[in-house]
Amino acid sequence: MARTRNIIVECDVCGFEYRRTSMKLNSYGMLVCPKDYEGQYDLKNHPQNKTPILRKSNFIRDVRPENNNDRNILWEGATTNWEDTDNYWNTIWQLWQVKLLLILIKTYYK
């Protein structure tokens, strides 16, 4: 009968033979040699593979949006009235029409 110490076992990853006492089971249940043993964490049980625990304490209460610098208006100046934005776009449209008229006049009287 063979003693447990001297049993030679094949590594499940690399295929080389090692003493059974130096082999370890990884989280997949594979018997691996010390070189192939990935330590405390491997691909399966690494903490980065687990989803984070989100609790309500992680959320900030009563959040306000940023100051909308990309829209060139402040939060206080932002409006939900369609008429206000309509006047804004009408002004832009009128300025564009004047500019187009000037371009046409310049090209006509060359």
Q: Are 89 and 95 in contact (CB under 8 A)?
A: no
DSSP classification of residue 50: S
User: Least distance to Zn ion from the beta carbon of 16, Å?
Assistant: 6
Site for Zn ion in 8-37 (CB under 5 A): 11, 13-14, 33, 36
Q: How far is the CB of 55 from Zn ion (least distance, A)?
A: 41
Nearer of residues 10 and 86 to Zn ion, judged by Cβ: 10
Least Å distance, CB 28 to Zn ion, is 13
How is residue 7 written in tokens? Answer: 């049993």
- The token pair at 72 is 């060139």
CB 33 within 8 A of CB 11: yes
Q: With respect to Zn ion, which residue has the nearer C-beta, 24 or 46? A: 24
Cβ at position 38, least distance to Zn ion in Å: 11
**Smaller CB separation from Zn ion, 22 or 45:** 22
Query: What sign has the CA pseudo-torsion 67, 73, 76, 79?
Result: negative
Q: Measured from the CB atom, is 15 or 65 closer to Zn ion?
A: 15
Query: Residue 69 gets which letter from DSSP?
Result: G
Tokens 């070189």, residue located = 35
Residues of this chain that interact with Zn ion (CB under 5 A) are 11, 13-14, 33, 36
